[in-house]
Amino acid sequence: MSILDLILSIFLFLGLFNGFRKGLTSQLAGLISVLILLMFGGAIAKILKNFLLENQVVAEAWIGIVSYGLTGVLVFLSLSIVAKLLNGIIKSIGLGILEKTGGAGLGFIKVFFIMTLFFYFFFPVNSKLGIIPQNSLNESFILNFVKINIDKIHQFWTNQL
């Protein structure tokens, strides 16, 4: 096991622990809010931008930043409220351990996905700057799984966008 694997393992364990602590509904709400913002954030921000421009709430120089910021806050708050309600229902019917276990699994998957996105953008930069030696990247056990997902993400983005 290389030092890179140790560092990546620590991040994965922290995701697992944080997911266990927060629970499935909270983790799911966070994941859904990120996905909504990635997929529909621009459209929602455009609607908010037009609304803010019509009502002259914000100076025109700040309108883009404010509309995207409000979009993120609105999506996050609405899904947090739904998650709290679902969490209360799940705990009241006695599925607390399932909630915690599912949260741990989803936390692990979420960190792995973030790690995959990070390395998707890091590999081209690293090939030019040589931040991490190529043999260290090739020897990493965890990074082999990340590379598989990088190929899938690349295929998705090139076919969908």
Host domain of residue 68: 3-113
Q: Which residues contact 96 (CB under 8 A, 6 or more apart)?
A: 90
Q: Is residue 101 assigned to a domain? A: yes
Q: Is residue 153 assigned to a domain? A: no
pLDDT of residue 101: 92
Q: Where are the alpha helices (DSSP H) in 56-133?
A: 63-92, 96-129
Q: Is residue 122 assigned to a domain? A: no
- Nearest by Cα to 67 from 124, 117, 59, 125: 59
Q: Is residue 142 assigned to a domain? A: no
Is the pTM of the predicted complex or chain greater than 0.75?
no
Q: Is residue 147 assigned to a domain? A: no
Q: In the chain, what percentage of residues exceed pLDDT 70? A: 98
Per-residue pLDDT tens digits for 70-102: 888 888 888 888 888 887 887 778 777 888 899
Is 64's pLDDT higher than 90? no
Tell me the CB-side half-sphere exposure of residue 72, using CA atoms within 13 A. Answer: 7
Q: Is residue 9 assigned to a domain? A: yes
2: three-class secondary structure by DSSP: coil
59: three-class secondary structure by DSSP: coil
Confidence band of 15 (pLDDT split at 50, 70, 90): very high
Q: Is residue 38 assigned to a domain? A: yes
Name the token pair of 110: 């979420």
The residue with tokens 């690293």 is 126
Are 88 and 25 in contact, with CB atoms under 8 Å apart? no
Are 70 and 24 in contact, with CB atoms under 8 Å apart? no
Q: How many domains does the chain fold into?
A: 1
Q: Is residue 87 assigned to a domain? A: yes
